[in-house]
Structure 1
Amino acid sequence: MKSNFKLFVPIALAVLSIMSCRAQQNGVISTVTLSNDSDMKLTDKAVTIKRSVIDKKGIAKDFPLLSYKNEPIPSQVNDLDGDGKWDELFLVTDFSAKEKKIVQLKWVKDVPKFPVRTSVRFGKRAGKDEPVKPATEEVLPANEVYKALGYQRYQTDGPTWENDKVGFRHYLDGRNAKDVFGKKLPAITPENVGINDKGAVEDNYHQMYDWGRDVFPVGSSVGLGGYALLINNEIKRLGILGTDSVNNVEKTTFKIVSEGPVNSVLSYDYQNWEASGNKYQVHETTSIWPGMYAYKNTVSISGLKGNETFLVALSNINNQRSVGVVDAGDFVCLFLHDRLTYNREWILGSAILVPKIGYQGYLEAPKKGQLTDSYLAELPLENNKEISYYAVAGWELSADKGFEDSNFFTKYVTNLAKELSVKIVVEAK
């Protein structure tokens, strides 16, 4: 028996070696190693795997299912460039400090139904008396903003996106501000928020529901995570106020890029944004995944003249305390903690996490003008170079308790910044 065993072992190894070589030649990957080299425990850590890493020839037709210890890892594929073929596998998973996970990859025809933890909601109507219908994209000319139309075309003034912790919305009607929905439950909010029983646009989200409500006043700021340019010491808003009838952006194009159980992605293109006699082209991508009271925003601008500074906004409406600034990981965190909600009714912590590299400090917006009531983090710009940052909102009535305490929120923000700074190493074999 022993001699037979000695004979079988090299034969088995030889067969496995041949199979491995053939698999590699065919571009087939069977295992993926995910390594957390940091000393931090990571919960719902987002990991993206480029298609070329696991499907080297780009010909796979099935879904790449990852499993760890026989348990499927929640994931989805994203088509980021809109060519009809997925570009990346996006997943969230937990890591212990210094943990290395060897996960199994299996190509399956049927995509598993993972728990839905992110969502995008967007609806519009063709006319004032027409019902709102779901949509996935929109093109907004300069002369079709809210004031010019005389009615609100969009459900919730534009798209909303959320995860199991918090929700946000973007004013697509020309204002381009970012608002906050406080959530009391982890479930995805109803699809009919912002419309009535007749299908008409209705502001019904400034009242409390079981799931929560809109809690954040925006006014003439650009909200939490909106942005602008500083040109020759003047703040230039991307877009207009609700009282303006013509946009300073010639054409705004919006699209839901992806909506899935663990990641939702939105994109905006602003064509010929006129500011200080120049015309800029802007591309913006917004992404959210489970587990964090935040979203990620990425912006690139072309047409720069060299005298522009990028400004990331932290609205300070209803704030009666000083702004906090702290370094954490790869970020500088600017944060507020006060009764920042409507009528100062509830405590809300808000923050922006901007890249530490290049950070030039912050300025405060004036009390009057096109963009007011904000702290604005200053960052350098290069043509077509992406700037990524995060916007954070922790409401005291959120499912996770503790946000009513300023020290708790500060700790949450700094810990989040450190977690987001950790890069998971991906190796495929």
Structure 2
Amino acid sequence: MKYSFWMLCTTILMGSACNPAEEGDETVNFTVENNAELALTDKPLVLKRTAIPGVDDHEGKFPLIISGRDTIPAQWDDMDGDGIWDEVFMVMDFSAKEKKKLQLAWVAEKPKFPARTSVRFGLREGADIPVHTAQSDTLPADGLPKSVGYQPYQTDGPSWENDKVGFRHYFDGRNAKDLFGKKTSQMSPEDVGINSQGAVEDNYHVMEDWGRDILAVGNSVGLGGVALMIDGEPARLGVTVNDSINNVENSVFQIIEEGPVRSIIQYDYLNWETHDRSYDVQEVSTIWPGMYAYKNEVSVKGLKGDEELLIGLVNINNDMDLAEIEVNDEWVVLLTHDQQSYEKEWWLGMALILPKSIYQGFSEAPESGDLSNSYLAKLTIEEGQSVAYYAVAGWELSDEQFADREYFKSYVVDLVNQLTAEVEVAWAK
């Protein structure tokens, strides 16, 4: 979507609508070029603060990106938490090999764009205390629902979404990742998972206009959840719903950014004790518009050198074969497709897009136990080094063509090629 710059100027720049830049400011011309031989849809584009010409001369202002007479929806993200934006993020469409001429202008106030991503996180401090929204929380080992006697989190933990699909993370000690199927491009209501009195309530397993929770997770780690392989045995990061004490001393959640075109959330699991070892694990989940997927980045500290990182692909209600697809030199895909939603009611495709250079095949978790019913992709991991991958879900009520296995497979392969494609930024001299 694009928005008339001149309309925005009228509302946010008041008397300077006839000039893209504020009085005394110069605009900057630059180009962005799709180097790939394929069209790109909602391709992420990041402009680093340090790369923008003249940024130090515009302290307290924000760069607005203009294409012709249209303003590109964007956001200004503070990635290091120092209170100053570090990068401009936007998504753009390109035809094959297309080069676009853009303009950067400076404004004093951030424009507001329609939301195409969102994060929802609510918590309560007692069974009789209404849920309130929060930006962060720390869960101690003895703070699990079985220990405190109530579920402290709306939807069991944070949920995040874009205009295509939604996800949620069981921050209540289970650390699995679940799936919300969407039937609309609008963001789902903020009160999903709570009732009219503000109490936590499982009201998202029934169909609403926006969609519903559609995935049975059980004791798997869901779609894109993480674990470690230690001594040939999968070790669960966290516990199950039946446990009262976590094996993670402190789990810390925070919303890094929530914006119209990108949302980022982070988890830090401090002192995870398993197999007579202790680890610190960090996850960063990112979502932007246009894709039936989210990006996840994982790093681990405390490694002994004999571990493998495991990425889960839940295998409940799936009777079809797992597909392993080498798409290009960078990525390999693990993919399932079946009526693998609750009660096998709808067709659902799921996939992991994994870095080929560190992919070591996959195994299957046991059929029972604290980590079960899951395919587990095995990845090489090094101390403190981040590993990035993507988790994909295509539900037939989001797009009826997802009922066809070959269509879903084609979508995932195309998504991999979209993610691999490079867009080059060149600033005018």
TM over 0.5: yes
Per-residue deviation, residues 81-109 of structure 1 (Å, max 9, x unmatched): 11111111110000111112221000111
What does 1:5-404 correspond to in 2, within 5 Å?
Answer: 30-54=28-52, 58=56, 60-329=59-328, 330-398=330-398, 400-404=399-403
Question: CA offsets, 1:13-72, max 9 Å, x none?
Answer: xxxxxxxxxxxxxx9871232121110100000111211011566563111111112211
The whole-number CA distance in structure 2 between the counterparts of 1:71 and 1:120 is 27
Larger Rg: 1
Secondary structure of the 2:415 match is helix
Equivalent position SS for 1:357: helix
Q: Which moved more, 1:321-330 or 1:349-358?
A: 321-330
Q: What is the distance in 1 between the residues matched to 2:297 and 2:29?
A: 31
Equivalent residue, structure 2, for 1:414: 413
Q: Is the 8 A contact 2:299 2:385 kept in 1?
A: yes
Given that 1:28 and 1:54 are in contact with CA atoms closer than 8 Å, whether structure 2 keeps it comes out as no
Cα distance, 1:287 vs structure 2? 0.4
Distance 1:165 1:187 in 2: 9
1:271-324 Cα deviation digits (max 9, x unpaired) = 111121111111111000000000000011111110000111100100001101
Aligned counterparts of 1:28 and 1:324: Cα–Cα separation in 2: 53
Distance 1:33 1:60 in 2: 24
Q: Would the aligned equivalents of 1:74 and 1:93 in 2 still touch at CA under 8 Å?
A: no
The aligned amino acid for 1:308 is E
- Note if contact 1:36-1:423 (Cα within 8 Å) is conserved in structure 2: yes
Q: Which residue of 1 is the match for residue 5 of structure 2?
A: none
Q: Note if contact 2:135-2:254 (Cα within 8 Å) is conserved in structure 1.
A: yes
**Distance in structure 1 (CA, Å) of the matches to 2:184 and 2:350:** 19
CA–CA separation in structure 1 for the residues paired with 2:298 and 2:206: 33
- Counterparts of 2:400 and 2:59 in 1: how far apart (Å)? 44
Could you tell me whether the CA contact under 8 Å between 1:28 and 1:56 is conserved in 2?
no
Alignment check: 8 A CA contact 2:353 2:390 kept: yes
Pairwise CA distance, 1:77: 0.9
Task: Determine the C-alpha separation between the residues in 2 that align with 1:114 and 1:187.
Answer: 13
Offset at residue 147 of structure 1 (A)? 1.2
Native 8 Å contact 1:216 1:340 kept in 2: yes
Please state how far the C-alpha of 1:246 moved relative to its aligned partner: 0.8
Cα distance change of structure 1 residues 140 and 29 upon mapping to structure 2, 3 Å threshold: farther
- Taking the aligned partners of 1:241 and 1:424, their CA distance within structure 2 comes to 43
What's the RMSD between the two structures over aligned residues?
A: 1.5
Which residue in the other structure is 1:17 paired with?
A: none
Alpha-carbon spacing, 1:222–1:57, altered in 2? closer, same or farther (3 Å): same
CA contact (8 A) 2:64 2:106 kept: yes
Query: Is the contact made by 2:27 and 2:103 (CA closer than 8 Å) also made in structure 1?
Result: no
TM-score normalised by structure 2 residue count:
0.92
Runs of 5+ unmatched residues, structure 2:
1-24
Unmatched segments (≥5 aa) in structure 1: 1-26
Q: In structure 1, what is the equivalent of residue 17 of structure 2?
A: none
**1:323-372: CA deviations, max 9, x gaps?**
01111232111111001111101110001101011211100111112111
Percent same amino acid at aligned positions?
Answer: 53
